[in-house]
């Protein structure tokens, strides 16, 4: 049953599986909070995406979902916010990730799993709200990460949801991770400042302090009736009594499919960020199919933007499970687990909220599109009223005039000729990363020095320069992988071949 829960929602729609990493401010290289997620299309599909700004005059006051048809009256005072919606509107908005005008960020959703006991106790609601809707009805109205949890929680309790999801909320001080439970219930946990969290498509939170959730609410929040919901439906499977709930046992799944689709993704991220743990010993504490992988850990060193890009592009490099690998290959093991960097990645979106610069330039959105193994990560300021056309003009027609389609082409060509193209891809990724860090350093300094009156125009012009450079570098690597693919065509023939 749970296999269907993370692939199909109550409307029979295929859900987009994703991977998430959250990093507290004492675990990042610069004291920022990090929140990043891949959005992936469902199996056998590819969803065109774009990067936009929704200005207050464009935000609906009466919202209607395309999937569930639910209608919601929204407040009349929305803030400006960025979003990563579907380029084609036929299935709704699917805003997915962004930052609002007061530097509060949201990412939604990580489709997660549950079990039949939860589904029987609080069934999903076909006419409720879900991933299509969450960003649009929450992000423009919240002033802190905690407030985001509480607003979405109240909407879930009122309207219900047709799918199980994990949602992230972030401000410059805190990150909160929220998980829906059945049709109307929810829990949320604050990410410890010196920890990072990894999330594949399953119930992630491991330990939940009910005493705190119903007391000080310092690090835990939940539905008001969660204790009675657990008690009345016999969901607590702990062998001993106490205030700490084993969330995965109570609300999560433990299916065979988790061990090929979900747990290996958490394992490879933890392995990269805590490499000194005995991952490869004769009796390792955790393996790729472990059900007890920790929700959060203190990293062995501070985490960078480059680390986030690397783990969210992982295809099990350095292990026997790498679908492209030769060095560690073993018969029957190559490609047996679902990689994070997959053919149907739509984008990576990282929100970085920086405490050491003025609030006007605090928020940065690092964006890549297409298959993460072959794409590059570029930064853009969020305090703007429009985004560069190269990232905003995605349509149904394949075109090298936009970032999404260019990267889809690069990935399809480079994958088929991995050995020939990998050096071109690595140089492209490094060149964009170098340019991105230089761009931020120079733009930050120029803003502080010049103190422009029109902040939006200043940052829009800066973003355009970044986009122009990104387009040039992306076009260059496309031409290189096209050449390599063309040279490997089966109908190639020279006079010397005769």
Report pLDDT for 17. Answer: 78
DSSP code of 196?
A: E
Same domain, 223 and 121: yes
Mode of pairing for the β-strands spanning 165-170 and 175-181:
antiparallel
Please name which of 41, 48, 52 lies closest in space to residue 13, comparing C-alpha atoms: 41
Same domain, 186 and 321: yes
Q: How many CA atoms lie within 13 A of 385 on its CB side?
A: 9
Mode of pairing for the β-strands spanning 196-199 and 296-297:
antiparallel
Helix (H) / strand (E) element for 233: namely none
DSSP per-residue letters across 343-398: TTEEEEEEEEE-TTS-GGG-EEEEEEES-TTT---EEEESS-S---HHHH---SS-
Q: How confident is the model at residue 327 (pLDDT cuts 50, 70, 90)?
A: confident
Please say if the pLDDT value at position 66 is more than 60: yes
Number of domains in the chain: 2
Residue 208: inside a domain: yes
Same domain, 148 and 289: yes
Look at residue 481 and give its three-state secondary structure.
helix
Residue 18: inside a domain: yes
pTM value? 0.95
Please say if the pLDDT value at position 169 is more than 90: yes
Helix (H) / strand (E) element for 8: namely none
Same domain, 422 and 323: no
DSSP code of 79?
A: P
Same domain, 432 and 337: no
* Cα distance between residue 341 and residue 299, in whole Å: 22
Same domain, 167 and 100: yes
Same domain, 263 and 409: no
CA distances to 173, 198, 473 from 301, rounded to whole Å, are: 20, 16, 31
**Average pLDDT over every residue of 350-366:** 98
- The residues carrying an active-site annotation are 18
For 427-467, the pLDDT digits (tens) are: 999 999 999 999 999 999 999 999 999 999 999 999 999 99
Please say if the pLDDT value at position 332 is more than 90: no
DSSP per-residue letters across 268-301: HHHHHHSTTS-TTSSS-S--TT-S---SEE--SS
Please name which of 270, 297, 262 lies closest in space to residue 286, comparing C-alpha atoms: 270
Same domain, 173 and 214: yes
**Angle value at C-alpha 261, between 93 and 234, nearest 5 degrees:** 85
Same domain, 432 and 369: no
Q: How confident is the model at residue 96 (pLDDT cuts 50, 70, 90)?
A: very high
Range of the domain at 485: 398-490
Contact 33, 24 (CB under 8 A): yes
> Helices 403-416 and 418-450 meet at what angle, rounded to 10?
150
> 75 is written with which tokens?
């407040």
Residue 365: inside a domain: yes
Residue 393: inside a domain: no
Please name which of 105, 173, 171 lies closest in space to residue 135, comparing C-alpha atoms: 105
Residue 388: inside a domain: no
Residue 73: inside a domain: yes
> 173 is written with which tokens?
């001080």
Same domain, 268 and 301: yes
Contact 369, 354 (CB under 8 A): no
Report pLDDT for 333. Answer: 87
Output the domain CATH number for residue 29: 3.60.60.10
């Amino acid at each position: 049953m749970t296999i269907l829960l993370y692939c199909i929602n109550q409307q029979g729609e295929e859900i987009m599986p994703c991977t998430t990493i959250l990093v507290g401010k004492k675990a990042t290289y610069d004291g920022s909070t990090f929140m990043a997620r891949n959005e992936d299309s469902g199996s056998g599909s590819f969803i065109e995406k774009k990067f936009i700004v929704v200005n207050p005059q464009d935000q609906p006051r009466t919202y209607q979902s395309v999937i569930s048809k639910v209608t919601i009256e929204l407040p009349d005072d929305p803030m400006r916010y960025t979003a990563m919606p579907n380029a084609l509107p036929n299935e709704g908005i699917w805003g997915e990730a962004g930052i609002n005008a007061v530097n509060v960020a949201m990412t939604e959703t990580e489709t997660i799993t549950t079990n039949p006991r939860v589904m029987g106790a609080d069934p999903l609601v076909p006419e409720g709200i879900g991933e299509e809707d969450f960003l649009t009805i929450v992000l423009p109205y919240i002033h802190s990460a905690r407030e985001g949890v509480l607003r979405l929680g109240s909407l879930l309790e009122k309207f219900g949801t047709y799918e199980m999801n994990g949602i992230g909320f972030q401000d410059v001080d805190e990150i909160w991770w929220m998980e829906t439970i059945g049709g109307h219930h929810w829990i949320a946990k604050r990410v410890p400042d010196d920890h990072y969290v990894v999330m594949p498509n399953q119930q992630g939170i491991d330990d939940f302090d009910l005493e705190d959730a119903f007391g000080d609410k310092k690090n835990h929040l939940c539905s008001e009736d969660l204790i009675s919901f657990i008690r009345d439906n016999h969901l607590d499977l702990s062998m001993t009594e106490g205030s700490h709930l084993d969330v995965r046992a109570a609300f999560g799944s433990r299916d065979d499919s988790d061990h090929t689709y979900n747990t290996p993704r958490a394992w490879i991220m933890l392995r990269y960020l805590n490499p000194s743990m005995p991952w490869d010993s004769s009796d390792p504490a955790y393996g790729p199919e472990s059900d007890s992988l920790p929700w959060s850990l203190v990293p062995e060193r501070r985490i960078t933007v480059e680390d986030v890009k690397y783990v969210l592009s992982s295809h099990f490099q350095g292990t026997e499970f790498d679908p492209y690998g030769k060095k560690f290959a073993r018969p029957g093991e190559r490609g047996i687990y679902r990689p994070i960097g997959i053919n149907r990645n739509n984008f990576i979106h990282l929100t970085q909220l920086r405490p050491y610069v003025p609030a006007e330039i605090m928020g940065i959105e690092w964006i890549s599109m297409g298959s993460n193994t072959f794409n590059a990560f570029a930064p853009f300021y969020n305090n703007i009223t429009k985004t560069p056309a190269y990232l905003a003009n995605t349509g149904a027609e394949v075109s090298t005039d936009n970032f999404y389609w260019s990267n889809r082409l690069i990935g399809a060509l480079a994958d088929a000729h991995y050995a020939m193209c990998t050096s071109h891809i690595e140089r492209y990724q490094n060149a964009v990363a170098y340019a991105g860090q230089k761009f931020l350093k120079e733009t930050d300094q120029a803003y502080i020095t010049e103190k422009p009156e029109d902040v939006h125009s200043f940052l829009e012009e800066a973003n355009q320069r970044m986009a122009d450079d990104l387009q040039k570098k992306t076009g260059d690597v496309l031409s290189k992988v096209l050449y390599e693919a063309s040279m490997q065509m089966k109908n190639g023939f020279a006079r010397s071949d005769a």
